[in-house]
Structure 1
């Protein structure tokens, strides 16, 4: 279980710690990163780092939260600049694929007990992320229906389906790997596969008079 943190006591210092940890996780992954190395990068004592984040898991979760906040901001900003609901879905998917790639770089987990323990700790966070993403997709689908572009009855079910399939296709490439990581060629393959599905998905939702 993750211990209580003190991240609210000094937002500037907390933000700096998360930024440095994000860089270290991005370079070496969760497993090969130590709290000693992060403290050294920050030029602070290990005790000071542990005051704000009592273990590596809690710091990693904070980094993931930051990444997801950036992802949500990017998607929301991009969608707001578009008028075509089909293009909104494409942009959401492409930004999400980039986010997925980033998460793999930050973790580079091996299939071992430690990975499953951290996944258990992240369970509540993933549930929150899923609700946020489904809400974004549902808003796009609702807009598409309002503009007579899509023809959908069960918007929230369709939003959940899109997210689940994207997640399923993404995980299909790493589930049998020793380390949760994708080479560039594998990522390109995933990108093409998911975008092929997305075009089929969009076509299935369009009103028949829409070309």
Structure 2
């Protein structure tokens, strides 16, 4: 097994409170100084850990940051009630997706700790690199959601599933970045109104067109 995976497993086996205490300290540091500016030595000093102890559970600062973000994603999923989408109709499918969009906006509006962690991810490429596998896991979950939508006719099927997923994931990440950066400046009413517009854009991109047309195989060339 990869050394990083072994270290992660050792960390998971620690008592819950011990894990929480270490991650609380690390989260404070990352929120205050960002990924690059955070001091691993400072975190270890506050947690009363030697470097030898730390490296037994975390291969490097990136792995510690990953653990902080993994916990934040789990907390966010609980707060927005991110259960698997199980819809029996097109309308029901989009109602569930709309609820997830709205809940994410409210969480970022009301929970600045999570919002600041989100802002930190988008400020630094190194931070995003440290959580590559977590982003890939979210990408896989989104593909399953889109696949389920196609099965009941809620999602268009004229494009390959991987392409649809990539487009949807990119748009969701950009919306997530924008709300993480700006939600605190919006009133609750304006935040939800904007969220509704973003959701409508997302739905219109993925939903089957009501006026599908097949382009001609011999399109008329543009004239000068």
Q: Do Structure 1 and Structure 2 share a fold, with TM-score over 0.5?
A: yes
**Runs of 5+ consecutive residues of structure 1 not aligned to the other structure:** 175-179
Q: What does 1:192-207 correspond to in 2, within 5 Å?
A: 192-202=193-203, 205=207
* DSSP-derived class of the 2:10 partner: coil
Q: Which residue of 1 aligns with 2:213?
A: none
The structure-2 alpha-carbon separation of the partners of 1:9 and 1:78, relative to structure 1 and needing over 3 Å to count, comes to closer
Residue 163 in structure 1 maps to residue 169 in structure 2? yes
The answer to whether the 8 A contact 2:102-2:195 is kept is no
Give the C-alpha shift of residue 57 in structure 1. Answer: 1.4
The root-mean-square deviation of aligned C-alpha atoms, in Å, is 4.3
Instruction: Give me the whole-angstrom Cα distance separating, in 1, the residues matched to 2:146 and 2:31.
Output: 28
Instruction: Give me the whole-angstrom Cα distance separating, in 2, the residues matched to 1:154 and 1:72.
Output: 31
Give the C-alpha shift of residue 91 in structure 1. Answer: 2.0
Residue 63 in structure 1 maps to residue 68 in structure 2? yes
**Size of the alignment, in residue pairs?**
193
The structure-2 alpha-carbon separation of the partners of 1:151 and 1:183, relative to structure 1 and needing over 3 Å to count, comes to closer
The structure-2 alpha-carbon separation of the partners of 1:111 and 1:96, relative to structure 1 and needing over 3 Å to count, comes to closer
Q: Deviations over 1:152-211 (max 9, x none)?
A: 33483555433322323444x49xxxxx94461169767643420313554683897xxx
The answer to whether the 8 A contact 2:8-2:57 is kept is yes
The answer to whether the 8 A contact 1:27-1:106 is kept is no
Return the index of the structure with the highest Cα Rg. 2
Instruction: Give me the whole-angstrom Cα distance separating, in 1, the residues matched to 2:82 and 2:170.
Output: 20
Q: What does 1:72-151 correspond to in 2, within 5 Å?
A: 72=77, 74-77=80-83, 79=85, 84-97=92-105, 98=107, 105-106=116-117, 109=120, 115-139=124-148, 141-142=149-150, 144-145=152-153, 150=154
Instruction: Give me the whole-angstrom Cα distance separating, in 1, the residues matched to 2:121 and 2:77.
Output: 27
The structure-2 alpha-carbon separation of the partners of 1:103 and 1:87, relative to structure 1 and needing over 3 Å to count, comes to same
TM-score, scaled to structure 1: 0.62
